[in-house]
Structure 1
């Protein structure tokens, strides 16, 4: 047994036209979970702006929008640069209209033992994940406040931001900041009609995920390491995102919704053997070489 399979691709969690006339901006929206969420907003009538630093990611996002017949644009933007974000919002407003919903999905991560990270590698992840979320949220809020218009922001957290974990010192710290930022901004901006929520995704294999980061081959969905006994479908995350940003969630703000089939809560009287992070990296490096490559890059960049 496992949790029931979700409705098939193309199904919608909300009524048709829920986002008609609204503009949704998705940072990091050209690949993976960001692209999956963008597709679900588009299915419900949203005009979508895909933001990314990389041209190939922008094209991938636009291609996904074309498959669902959405009105969409791709905008080059580095979320670490406030001036670039302001230019991106100007372009979106000129081509689609003011942004009504902001999805802060852009992220950076590489697993590595804490002592192997360079200060620059640590800083880069924090700059993209935490500072990037703040930079985009600030630009969005400044414009909504000036226009005296409500809006919705959805940030992307992580359950390991509450627990920590080996190899994630940089990203866990940054994601913990995102969770707290979500709560702080929700309180500050609620009187002005701006809601701020967060999603913490579980295991969602997708076509853009590097092979060394998933244990599932294409088409495999069973997973006996998760209480729900299966991995998630990307559209399930998209449905949660479209709900939280919709009028049907108008009284929800400052909340982090975990979408992971209870995986982060699992505990057992008989826990599996703990494997130190350096031993894990040794095993991964033998299989793919990816861990050593990531550490070498941070040493080089630092």
Structure 2
């Protein structure tokens, strides 16, 4: 769908890049010419993912880091630039969540998700900024959120607040850093059928058909759909797009409103 050199010469750092949507995006980026650094808390997982990308002909590295720790993040950013010579794309994908009624949610549980999702995104943006503004091709920050962070997310107030905060942060940075030729956008995926989360929560529990009916298109999305959106926003194809929340959810949020 994209030309093979769409991301040629660009370097991307992807948090939560060892599995799922993060790895799908990394795979797409590598196939289209980007050098990718996969970052995650599980070193074995990101190393294995980077090795697979390299064996498939891509250029990839891996770094263990916890996005809750700013020093970890800065070290990963610096290692990316040292390894590949630049940083042009930051993909904030690392996230945490669990289901819990708000009245039963402990302060520690709240803090954990806020630390990973919202604070982790800020840490990555802040540490990457000095390098992103030196990008010769124009830089791009993309954060994975959800429309449930906009509409509200019963029994996941911590994740909803964090994702809503990321959207606000991203639009703030789009204005503040636009003069540095850094574009800042978010992607809101819907139910993605080939992810572990949807398989476990919906399909294996027999709720798959019901969840599909909640979308306007009547079906689950694929990881590839999110990767395609991430390629568009990171590449020259989206050169005049910033401050945008690209909704890739099969119309689920609209159908909720219509219902």
TM-score (normalizing by structure 1): 0.79
Aligned to 1:52: 40
Residue matched to 1:238: 227
CA–CA separation in structure 2 for the residues paired with 1:225 and 1:144: 39
CA distance in 1, matches of 2:234, 2:54: 22
Q: Does 1:42 align with 2:30?
A: yes
Note if 1:263 corresponds to 2:252.
yes
Question: Closer, same or farther in 2 for the Cα pair 1:165/1:207, shift >3 Å?
Answer: closer
Distance change >3 Å, CA 23–CA 36, structure 1 → 2: same
Structure 1 residue corresponding to 2:113, chosen from 107, 125, 135: 125
Change (3 A) 1:268 1:134: closer
Q: Determine the C-alpha separation between the residues in 2 that align with 1:55 and 1:205.
A: 26
Equivalent-residue separation in structure 2 for 1:205 and 1:160 (angstroms): 17
Distance between the aligned counterparts of 1:83 and 1:206, measured in 2?
33
Identify which of 83, 97, 119 aligns with 1:109.
97
Distance in 1 (CA, whole Å) between partners of 2:152 and 2:227 is 26
Verify the 8 A CA contact 1:165 1:172 in the aligned structure 2.
yes
Question: Does the aligned pair in 2 maintain the 1:26–1:49 contact within 8 Å?
Answer: yes
Inter-partner Cα distance in structure 2 for 1:165 and 1:71 = 38
Question: Could you tell me which residue of structure 2 aligns to residue 23 of structure 1?
Answer: 11
- Deviation at 1:35? 0.8
Deviation at 1:206, TM superposition (A): 2.5
Q: CA deviation at 1:52?
A: 0.1
Give the TM-score taking structure 2 as reference length. Answer: 0.91
What CA distance in whole angstroms lies between the structure 2 residues aligned with 1:95 and 1:158? 32
- 1:108-155 CA distances to partner (integer Å, 9 max, x unpaired)? 11111112221111011001101111110111112233x375311001
Extract unaligned runs of 5+ from structure 1.
1-11, 272-302
Aligned residue pair count: 255
- The root-mean-square deviation of aligned C-alpha atoms, in Å, is 2.1
The answer to whether residue 173 in structure 2 is matched with residue 175 in structure 1 is: no
Do the aligned residues in 2 keep the contact of 1:31 with 1:60 (CA within 8 Å)? no
Q: Mapping of 1:210-249 within 5 angstroms?
A: 211-215=199-203, 223-249=212-238
Return the index of the structure with the highest Cα Rg.
Answer: 1
Partner of 1:281: none
SS of the aligned residue for 1:123 comes to helix
